[in-house]
Amino acid sequence: MTADARIDGYAAAILEFAKAEDELARVGDELFRIARSFESSNELRDALTDRRVPVERKQGIVADILGDKVCPLTINMINFVVSAGRAGDLPAIADRLAERAAAARDKVIAEVRSATKLDAATEARLATALGRATGRDVELKTVVDPSIIGGIIARVGDVVIDGSVTSRFQELRETLNRR
């Protein structure tokens, strides 16, 4: 089984569980946010992917971190992935789940990274603008990423729109280095 097929399989299973419990939107959103935290925390990623750490300890870490911040089904789905030894695939599984859930609603996912949390009005304007730019109905997933300093980076499928301050600094640096 290829990695893509395995990731698709986990995403499909979680999608069916979440649909059956009528928690698809919530579980999908929570897994997406947890996956972004997983990507940005070396300590968390190392703890959940270390083969020397027993599964029970890994599940304890998940419970300690998430506690009552997410619904029990989300914790169960993460524990399902962790106990199968696939914690390293968690971000890809969460992304695939979000894509499948959005596709079921005839939408595409737009991941928007910003240095600070966006307010609801800004998110609505972004969703409208990205929908116009792509010709698709867009479901926005936001990620706070202070490393981009300011502006936003939007990704819809393979299309990336980089309006970040970090990108502007990089362009300026390259321009100055050419002189």
Distance CA 155, CA 40 (A): 18
- Could you report the per-residue pLDDT of 138-173, keeping only the tens digit for each? 999 999 999 999 999 999 988 999 999 999 999 999
Confidence of residue 1 (pLDDT cuts 50, 70, 90): confident
Distance CA 133, CA 85 (A): 39
**The pLDDT value given to residue 124:** 96
Q: How do strand 151-156 and strand 108-114 relate by DSSP bridges?
A: antiparallel
pTM for this prediction: 0.80
pLDDT above 90 for 42:
yes
- Could you report the per-residue pLDDT of 78-121, keeping only the tens digit for each? 999 999 999 999 999 999 998 998 998 899 999 999 999 999 99
Q: How do strand 108-114 and strand 138-144 relate by DSSP bridges?
A: parallel
